[in-house]
Amino acid sequence: MRIVIIDDSGLRATVLEEGLREAGYDDIHIVPPRGAFVARLERMAPDVVLMDLGSPSRDTLEEMLSVSRALARPIAMFVDQSDEAMIGAAIDAGVSAYVVDGLRKERVKPVLELAVRRFNAFSKMQTELEEARTALADRKVLDRAKSILMNQRGLSEQDAYGLLRSSAMNQGKKIVDVAQALITASDLLGGGL
Amino acid sequence: MTTNLRIAFLPLNDVAVLAVARERGFAEEEGIALDLVRTTSWATLRDRLVYGQVQAAHMLAPLAVAVTLGLSQQPAALAAPYKLGVNGNMLVMARDFSAALEPDPARRLADPVGTAHDFASAIGLWRRKPVIGVVHRFSSHALMLRYWLASAGIDPDRDVVLRVLPPSLTVEAIHAGEIDGFIAGEPWGSAAIDSGRAEAVAIGERIWQRGVEKVLAFRETWLDENPETADRLLRALARAAAWCDEPANHEALADLLADARYVNQPADLILRALSGRIIPRAGDAAVAAPDFVLFSREATSFPWRSQALWIYSQLVRWGMVEHSPENAAKAGAVFRPDVFRRALAGSDVPMPGASMKLEGAVASPLAVGSRKGDLTLGADRFFDGRVFDPDRIDEYLKGFSQSH
């Protein structure tokens, strides 16, 4: 079974490809949706096409599927239209899958399920990465605000942090927002670091 | 009690009515909490609607007809009781291609007949078949482009390549030379013009003065099972639409749409179409196109069944659907004036007395029969002067086959 993954994010495609290889599929190709990707895909004559539901190139792909004379058999999205739970899970995970007509659903279902799991794992990974990045950025803002307070008001690091925290609580704001406001004000007043 | 509704959209100017219903409190007044879901392709918008992840969608009118007729992936019965706008598209071509056309872009736009014939000659001069981007096979843009090209004897399936790509990728594709031009909803044409790579060649309003464009599409079953919620939503949208058409609000509307949650493009680009002042070539003076896009006036949002049937006639014309009485009936039934009437009966929205009309027959503003309020329809001519009679589709189609 030839599986083509159309994906812009090299990392997600790799995560998916690895999973499929571990599951014993070995005819897997990754095509980024750029330039003449449709012509490449046509030449590959895939049995299953997996694509990120969020990719703006889905309309281009579907147009090709509806007009291509090169593809021997029509390709439809999702192998079993009656399996609403599977389709719902795929849409939630952000996977769209196109399958050639005539391929038995028992053969395709594991591929689809695997794609859904890998897409979910990938987006979890991305969320965690994003959270880690935000935490790091927040810490930098806090450190800068603290040092402004330490320099301008002669506070210890602990007291500077305490002052930021109590101001945030009094104003009902997040501590990082108060710190950012302090930095902006300090920059405007020319007293920044 | 508040009802939560999720509606999918694509980043285009004509999401205006939905955005304003949410941001200006019109939905809230009707007890609706609107969650607008930004989507990057029509395919994903369609899937979200068909599989119930959203209750409604900002959809290309021909796509709603095509999904219902089973011409696209995920066939499903859709229903469109409300039009989110009329007109709003622009055809732009790369500057080296437009060099073969009338040099003054303002004159090009004013003379769609002449420009279509110039375009036909320009095809012969071009180094290969020109590649024109369209946002979807089942889009009003593609149907109007085909209509316009064919009027000058161009076979849109043979003489040019129509390449499907989403609006947000059009500007990039013209830069990369993958396409020679495209037709899309605003602000994408203006964005390409501003980048210096493209010029305006035609605007939708001059091809069909009142062209059917986006609809609010529901699953038919959902619409039938939730009449009370649908009615409240339509009332909120009608008030939002009136706000959008008010010239004094255009700047605020452009600012709102410029937000990253909606169109995410500069407000001054967005404003051009809203205020009907189109800059056809970077550095040129604006061309006045006061009907570039309509949201409310002239009962814009009323879903005339004759317009669903015009779409059907074009799908038949281009061999995309088999012509049969059953298919025609199914296509016409996608537009739901009955729901529009029920929802807005108690409002001050003027209510047409009929559900079908001749399309393209109004040459100058015309007062028409209305169940309440004064209703004046604006000129709605096709640029070639043809009139579509929804009761005589066969005759209409024969008229095209004789001319080329």
Residue A167 maps to a domain: yes
Phi, psi of B86 (to 5 degrees): -130, 140
Whether residue A102 sits in one domain with residue A116? yes
Model-level ipTM above the cut of 0.95: no
* pLDDT confidence band for A73 (50 / 70 / 90): low
Q: pLDDT at residue A79 above 70? A: no
Largest CA distance in chain B: 64
pLDDT digits (tens, 9 = 90+) for B106-135: 999 999 999 999 999 999 989 899 999 999
Nearest C-alpha neighbor of A61 from the set A73, A81, A76, A82: A76
- Among A128, A161, A178, the domain-final residue is A128
pLDDT at B156: 96
Inter-chain residue contact A53 with B165, CB threshold 8 Å:
no
Whether residue A122 sits in one domain with residue A140? no
Asked, as a colleague might, if the bond just before B187 is cis with ω within 30 of 0, I would say yes
pLDDT at B11: 96
Residue A107 maps to a domain: yes
Inter-chain residue contact A87 with B135, CB threshold 8 Å:
no
CATH number of the domain bearing residue A153: 1.10.10.10
Inter-chain residue contact A96 with B47, CB threshold 8 Å:
yes
Alpha-carbon span B357 to B390, nearest angstrom: 7
Whether residue A36 sits in one domain with residue A91? yes
Question: Taking the mean position of all CA atoms in its chain, how far away is CA B332?
Answer: 17
Whether residue A28 sits in one domain with residue A118? yes
**Greatest mean pLDDT range, A15-19, A90-94, A131-135, B239-243:** B239-243
Q: What is the pTM of this model?
A: 0.88
Q: What percentage of residues in chain B have a pLDDT greater than 90?
A: 91
* pLDDT confidence band for A191 (50 / 70 / 90): low
Length of chain B, in residues:
404
Whether residue A119 sits in one domain with residue A33? yes
Interface membership of A186 toward B (CB under 8 Å): no
**Beta-carbon pairs below 8 A across chains A and B:** 59
- Where do we find the tokens 């169109």? B263
pLDDT at A91: 83
- Among A91, A111, A128, the domain-final residue is A128
pLDDT at A189: 85
Nearest CA to CA, how far is B96 from chain A (Å)?
A: 21
pLDDT at B108: 95
Alpha-carbon span A150 to A141, nearest angstrom: 14
In B, minimum Cα distance to A55 occurs at B40
Whether residue A164 sits in one domain with residue A134? yes
Nearest CA to CA, how far is A167 from chain B (Å)?
A: 31
Domains with residue ranges and CATH for chain B: 3-86+212-264+295-344 (3.40.190.10), 89-207 (3.40.190.10), 351-403 (no CATH)
Whether residue A88 sits in one domain with residue A69? yes
CATH number of the domain bearing residue A68: 3.40.190
Largest CA distance in chain A: 77
Inter-chain residue contact B164 with A63, CB threshold 8 Å:
yes
Q: Which residues of A touch B175 (CB under 8 A)?
A: none
pLDDT at B37: 97
Nearest CA to CA, how far is B301 from chain A (Å)?
A: 27
- Among A98, A128, A158, the domain-final residue is A128
pLDDT at B312: 98
Q: Between B401 and B395, whose confidence is greater? A: B395
Nearest C-alpha neighbor of A160 from the set A174, A172, A148, A175: A148
Residue A179 maps to a domain: yes
Q: Which residues of B touch A87 (CB under 8 A)?
A: 51
Q: Which residues of A touch B169 (CB under 8 A)?
A: 56-57
* pLDDT confidence band for B344 (50 / 70 / 90): very high
Q: Which residues of B touch A91 (CB under 8 A)?
A: 47-48, 51, 53
- Number of domains making up chain A: 2
Nearest C-alpha neighbor of B42 from the set B61, B56, B59, B54: B59
pLDDT digits (tens, 9 = 90+) for B76-96: 999 999 999 999 999 999 999
Whether residue A22 sits in one domain with residue A75? yes
- Structural domain containing residue A176: 130-188
Inter-chain residue contact A63 with B137, CB threshold 8 Å:
yes
Whether residue A134 sits in one domain with residue A54? no
Nearest CA to CA, how far is B16 from chain A (Å)?
A: 21
Q: Under 8 Å CB-to-CB from B346, ≥6 apart: which residues?
A: none
Residue A193 maps to a domain: no
Nearest CA to CA, how far is A56 from chain B (Å)?
A: 5
Residue A79 maps to a domain: yes
In B, minimum Cα distance to A75 occurs at B73
Question: Beta-strand (E) ranges in B61-111?
Answer: 78-83, 86-87, 89-94
Q: Which residues of B touch A88 (CB under 8 A)?
A: 51
Q: Between A69 and B283, whose confidence is greater? A: B283
Mean pLDDT of A81-108: 80
Whether residue A112 sits in one domain with residue A50? yes
Whether residue A29 sits in one domain with residue A119? yes
Alpha-carbon span B344 to A184, nearest angstrom: 50
Chain A contact probe: residue of B37, B47, B63, B132 with most A CBs at under 10 A: B47
Provide the chain B residues 122-151 that lie in CB contact (below 8 A) with chain A: 135-137
Whether residue A120 sits in one domain with residue A182? no
pLDDT at B1: 77
Q: pLDDT at residue B403 above 70? A: no
Residue A89 maps to a domain: yes
Interface membership of A9 toward B (CB under 8 Å): no
